[in-house]
């Protein structure tokens, strides 16, 4: 009994740490993108992430191969989840405050629920509509009333982050359609693991980041020790460690319960952003509560999918 209690608390601690790592990624991303080319940051980040993921995949599953039939879908998911989402994220934090951005991205689960109704034919219940209204109201409050006015372009920055939330929602829809397929007739004969999916999705997305990064001529920018430490944080802690801890949580306590901890990410994003000089106000609290209420409403009575992580990096970073 004591062993089981300790195991549960270990999982909860890892999930809280994951939320902390993802929350801190917002001010770290802002510090990096303020003086460095955003796409190049993302390309270098995934130049570290991709080999680590494939090394883990080889160690755990003794193979990194996938059927050719999956490539087209993994390519589409890579463009959405890695290429476009990273671009929206890093350009967003360049133009707007990290504290504001970390709240806006929290509306992602609401958008996923609404898009699932449109694309996958899931019922658009009244609660989902109310959740959408509540979530968008939270985004509107922080967009209009945030005290962080000394930024390059708050409207543009928050719009880009909201675009990132839409892109991630579309990725999640594609992922759901993929894992709901009949895999019995494929070469593998079984559904791929979440590690295999995120590894290949990251690889394909990274390949599209490389030529865009070269256009930015990153070699002309001042990359110092703090720059590399920030990128290592995003790559190894926020992406790799955060992913592994989150998957462990899903396996041990279920996807729905693990996803609850994702609501801590905006909180940690707000708190950590204060350390880089951003102002936190009651409007941030009001925005968070409305977005959180929207997430709760759209997820009421949702059936949990077992056996695979639906969102390998839940709309966070």
Window from 146-160, 219-233, 247-261 with minimum mean pLDDT = 247-261
Residues of the chain with pLDDT > 70: what percent?
Answer: 91
Domain boundaries, the chain: 2-298
In angstroms, rounded to a whole number, what is the distance separating the alpha carbons of residues 109 and 174? 15
DSSP H helical ranges for 146-281: 154-179, 194-215, 225-232, 242-253, 255-260, 264-273
pLDDT score at 310? 45
How confident is the model over 266-294, as a mean pLDDT? 96
Integer Cα distance of 179 and 313 in angstroms: 16
Kindly report the average pLDDT of the chain as a whole number.
90
Q: Is 294 exposed, middle or buried (0-12, 13-18, 19+ CB in 10 A)?
A: buried
pTM over 0.75? The answer is yes
Mean pLDDT in residue range 10-36? 96
Q: In angstroms, what CA-CA distances link 78 with 167, 176, 205?
A: 11, 14, 4
Distance of CA 228 to CAs 35, 192, 222, Å?
Answer: 13, 33, 11
**Residue 304: per-residue pLDDT:** 42
Confidence of residue 305 (pLDDT cuts 50, 70, 90): very low
Q: What DSSP character marks residue 241?
A: I
Q: How far is CA 191 from CA 53, 62, 69, 73, 132, in A?
A: 18, 16, 13, 14, 32
What percent of the chain clears pLDDT 90, i.e. is strictly above it?
A: 73
User: Looking at the predicted structure, is the pLDDT value of residue 12 above 50?
Assistant: yes
Kindly tell me if the per-residue pLDDT of 250 is higher than 90. no
Rounded average pLDDT over 144-164: 96
Joined tokens for residue 186 = 């494929």
CA-nearest of 274, 293, 287 to 143 is 287
Q: Which of 93-102, 178-187, 189-198 has the lowest mean pLDDT?
A: 178-187
Q: pLDDT tens digit string along 55-97?
A: 999 999 999 999 898 999 999 999 999 999 999 999 999 999 9
Judged by average pLDDT, the poorest of 5-9, 99-103, 123-127 is 5-9
Sign of CA dihedral 184, 203, 313, 7: positive
Query: For position 64, what pLDDT does the model report?
Result: 94
Residues with Cβ < 8 Å from 291, sequence gap 6 or more?
A: 103, 106, 107, 110, 134, 135, 138, 139, 266
Tokens of 146: 């945030």
Would you state the pLDDT for residue 307?
42
Q: Would you say residue 218 has pLDDT above 60?
A: yes
Q: Bigger pLDDT: 301 or 276?
A: 276
The pLDDT of residue 306: 40
Contact between 173 and 112 (Cβ < 8 Å) = yes
**Which has the minimum average pLDDT: 211-220, 288-297, 301-310?**
301-310
Mean pLDDT along residues 148-161: 96
Residue 125: pLDDT over 80:
yes
Q: Report pLDDT for 180.
A: 83
């Amino acid at each position: 009994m004591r062993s089981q209690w300790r195991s549960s608390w270990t999982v909860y601690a890892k999930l809280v740490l994951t939320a902390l790592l993802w929350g801190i990624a917002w001010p770290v991303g802002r510090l990096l993108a303020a003086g460095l080319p955003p796409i190049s940051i993302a390309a270098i980040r995934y130049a570290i992430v991709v080999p680590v993921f494939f090394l883990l995949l080889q160690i755990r599953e003794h193979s990194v191969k996938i059927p050719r039939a999956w490539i087209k879908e993994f390519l589409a998911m890579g463009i959405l989840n890695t290429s476009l989402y990273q671009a929206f994220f890093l350009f967003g934090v360049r133009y707007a405050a990290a504290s504001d951005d970390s709240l806006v991205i929290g509306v992602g689960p609401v958008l996923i629920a609404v898009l699932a109704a449109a694309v996958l034919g899931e019922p658009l219940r009244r609660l989902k509509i109310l959740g959408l209204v509540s979530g968008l109201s939270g985004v509107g409050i922080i967009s209009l009333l945030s005290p962080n006015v000394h930024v390059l372009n708050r409207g543009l920055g928050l719009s880009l982050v909201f675009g990132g939330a839409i892109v991630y929602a579309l990725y999640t829809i594609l992922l759901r359609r993929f894992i709901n397929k009949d895999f019995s007739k494929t070469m593998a004969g079984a559904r791929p693991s979440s590690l295999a999916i995120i590894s290949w999705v990251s690889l394909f997305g990274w390949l599209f980041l490389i030529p865009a990064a070269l256009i930015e001529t990153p070699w002309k920018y001042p990359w110092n020790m703090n720059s590399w430490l920030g990128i290592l944080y995003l790559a190894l802690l926020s992406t790799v460690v955060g992913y592994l801890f989150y998957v462990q949580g899903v396996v041990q306590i279920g996807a729905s319960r693990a996803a609850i901890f994702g609501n801590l990410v905006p909180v940690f994003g707000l708190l950590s952003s204060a350390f880089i000089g951003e102002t936190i106000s009651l409007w941030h609290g009001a925005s968070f509560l409305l977005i959180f209420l929207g997430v709760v409403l759209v997820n009421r009575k949702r059936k949990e999918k077992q056996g695979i992580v639906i969102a390998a990096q839940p709309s966070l970073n």
